Amino acid sequence: MAMRFILLGGPGAGKGTQAKILADRYGVPQISTGDMLRAAVKAGTPLGREAKTHMDSGGLVPDEVVIGLIDERLDQKDAGRGFILDGFPRTVAQAEALKRLLNRKDMGLDGVVSIDVDDEELVQRLGGRLTCQGCGAMFHKVFTPPAKEGVCDTCGGALYQRNDDKEETIRERLATYHRQTAPLVDFYKTEGALKSVSGLGGIEDITNRIMSALEN
């Protein structure tokens, strides 16, 4: 089944975690602009150098940069079978550009699922978050610790705290989210594509909520 959908939600809502699981279930790639940008930062490309300043301050990378990344990514062969967008779109301008891109590529969307979590919970989650350098899997110091400290359960890679998961950047990311990304909920409501699920509870429960929202 070709499944094409967007996961919306604040930073720390569980988009990445759920996108990885759902990518497996549906056999489609997770397309995360955050992961793509972090890869560019790591590789030290000009795009990565430009992106880093925005990422480290908790703001957004310019629309035209991420729209260009997505335009190219959607043309790759694996995306022909469907995709899960995680962290894109993040502004109304990006959502409008995506709509034009998908029309041009003759691709329809099956849905937009918003994973709802309140701010205080997001702050707690981001503050203790650990990310695997190897595969990008996420853990939490208190809520979901890895079996062995500092080591990824999935791939054995080293866990680190993302620069933007530091206390001083978290509040800024939330402010950015409310200012620039939260309006997308209304955008997709108007488009008639929006489904909302609670992002509280066990990972598996949330996966099931998203799947039934998409399939009903």
For residue 209, indicate whether it is catalytic.
Answer: no
Q: How many CB atoms lie within 10 A of CB 201?
A: 11
Q: Is 61 in the site for ligand AMP (CB under 6 A)?
A: yes
Shortest Å distance, C-beta 216 to ligand AMP: 27
* 11/199 with CB nearer ligand AMP: 11
Instruction: Give the burial class of 110: count Cβ atoms within 10 A of its Cβ; 0-12 exposed, 13-18 middle, 19 or more buried.
Output: middle
Report the alpha-carbon angle 120-87-208, nearest 5.
75
Q: Is 90 in the site for ligand AMP (CB under 6 A)?
A: yes
For residue 129, indicate whether it is catalytic.
Answer: yes
Binding segment for ligand AMP (CB under 6 A), chosen from 88-96, 106-114, 138-146, 201-209, is 88-96
Helix (H, G, I), strand (E, B) or coil at 120: helix
Q: How many residues bind ligand AMP (CB under 6 A)?
A: 15
Tokens describing residue 140: 């939490």
Find the binder of ligand AMP among 54, 140, 141, 195 (CB under 6 A): 54
Instruction: Give the residue from 99, 81, 101 showing the smallest Cα distance to 30.
Output: 81
Catalytic residue from among 20, 52, 73, 173 = 173
Annotated catalytic residues are: 15, 90, 129, 162, 173
